[in-house]
């Protein structure tokens, strides 16, 4: 009798464990990370509680560090990998193709490497692709801009168009995010290379937002073009390490996002020729905890529309304009490296009215977020993947 009771009791626990596990895994699939095959890509995550509900799929994995992304057309997404590689994927066939590109003296170390990518405004006609990257110049390094022509799976006619001055022996703060405006001018961010005082020095490109023509030359109506001793390429200054840059699709206003030190990450509305304060003013502190500069405000220096304390390490910026997520129209999105999430900001009159932190449960270092031609969001992560975010 005792023997039969033990068997019954044992069976009861087996059935209970089975039912519990089924319930657990069902809830897991509905609200957190799951690994299963979707009809097109590998489904990573579903969130049915968010408004709007969405899913995240892996569209490419086992990559290097995908730093910059751009759509060649509705079907093909091209990206750079920090180690020096360029690849593209056909989103219909899911085929990934390497693109040959050779950059002599590419500096891949620390925060340097092959960084951002942008298409010429007339890319369909001329096939010009622009790259920013760390470059070794003797025993020093700098941020460089180059251009190549895409022919099939090859980059041809590569040429370095611009070198930031001054070059330093440092593997930090290359900046490097790029955007073309509607006039065909190229904006590119240059970090302070951890030489913070240079951000206030108009005779240096460091810690600046630059505006160049399609050949890498200064635009003649830049604010310091005729200022003696100033670099003519400078458009704004007083930046630390800006890795987010986006031009509003409707207002054409320029927004720049930069890494602070210990706290003090910023989003700034950029005005021609203005000083954004670093390192004289900041909402952050040195990594040692000591104060930097003179405080948080000073006459003649601009205030950010948003700052973070503690830092989230923002690495790209996007203003959503698509139709897939109508609730998110006009929202700002920032990829976060340190606090590992996709940051969503609702903005009214250049003031933040709501902040939402998405995908933090995935624990990825989000490097770049872009909007695809059909309104889906695409994210690259330092763990060597490219993700697609779409509505459920």
For the annotated catalytic residues, the residue numbers are 173
| φ, ψ at 21 (rounded to 5°) | -65, -40
Name the residue with tokens 């408004």. 51
Q: In what order do the strands lie in the sheet with 254-259?
A: 241-247, 254-259, 265-270, 306-308
Q: Which residue bears the tokens 């930097």?
A: 292
Measured from the Cβ of residue 35, the count of other Cβ atoms closer than 10 Å reads 10
> What distance in Å separates the CA atoms of residue 307 and residue 343, rounded to the nearest whole number?
12
CA–CA distance, 110 with 174 (Å, rounded to integer) = 10
**What is the rounded distance in angstroms from the CA atom of residue 142 to the CA atom of residue 138?**
10
Q: Which residue in the block uniquely carries the two structure tokens 């626990």?
A: 13
User: Which CA distances in Å does 376 have to 128, 301, 370?
Assistant: 25, 37, 9
Question: What token pair was written down for 52?
Answer: 């709007």
């Amino acid at each position: 009798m005792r023997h039969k009771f033990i068997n019954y009791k044992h069976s009861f626990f087996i059935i209970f464990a089975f039912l519990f596990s089924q319930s657990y895994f069902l809830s897991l699939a509905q609200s957190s990370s799951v690994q299963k095959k979707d009809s097109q890509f590998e489904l990573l995550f579903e969130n049915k509680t968010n408004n709007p509900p969405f899913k995240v799929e892996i569209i490419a994995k086992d990559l290097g560090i995908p730093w910059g992304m751009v759509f060649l057309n509705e079907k093909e997404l091209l990206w750079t990998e920090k180690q020096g590689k360029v690849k593209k994927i056909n989103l219909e066939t899911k085929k990934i193709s390497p693109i040959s590109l050779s950059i002599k003296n590419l500096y891949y170390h620390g925060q340097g490497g092959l960084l951002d990518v942008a298409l010429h405004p007339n890319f369909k006609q001329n096939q010009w692709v622009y790259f920013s990257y760390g470059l070794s110049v003797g025993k020093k390094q700098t941020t460089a801009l180059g251009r190549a022509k895409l022919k099939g799976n090859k980059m041809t006619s590569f040429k370095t168009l611009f070198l930031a001055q001054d070059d330093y022996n440092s593997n930090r703060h290359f900046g490097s995010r790029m955007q073309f405006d509607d006039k065909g001018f190229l904006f590119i961010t240059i970090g302070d290379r951890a030489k913070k005082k240079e951000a206030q020095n108009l005779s240096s490109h460091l810690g600046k937002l630059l505006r160049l023509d399609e050949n890498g030359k200064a635009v003649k109506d830049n604010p310091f073009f005729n200022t003696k001793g100033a670099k003519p390429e400078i458009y704004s200054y007083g930046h630390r390490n800006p890795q987010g840059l986006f031009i509003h699709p409707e207002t054409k206003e320029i927004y720049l996002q930069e890494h602070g030190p210990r706290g003090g990450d910023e989003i700034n509305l950029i005005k021609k020729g203005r000083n954004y304060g670093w390192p004289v003013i900041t909402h952050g502190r040195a990594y040692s905890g000591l104060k930097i500069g003179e405080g948080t405000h000073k006459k003649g220096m601009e205030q950010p529309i948003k700052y973070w304390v503690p830092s989230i390490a923002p690495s790209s910026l996007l203003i959503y304009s698509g139709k897939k997520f109508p609730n998110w129209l006009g929202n700002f999105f920032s990829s976060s490296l340190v606090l590992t999430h996709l940051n969503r900001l609702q903005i009214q009159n250049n003031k933040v009215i709501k902040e939402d932190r998405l995908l933090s449960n995935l624990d990825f270092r989000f490097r770049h977020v872009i909007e695809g031609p059909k309104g889906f969001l695409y994210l690259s992560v330092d763990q060597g993947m490219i993700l697609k975010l779409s509505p459920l």
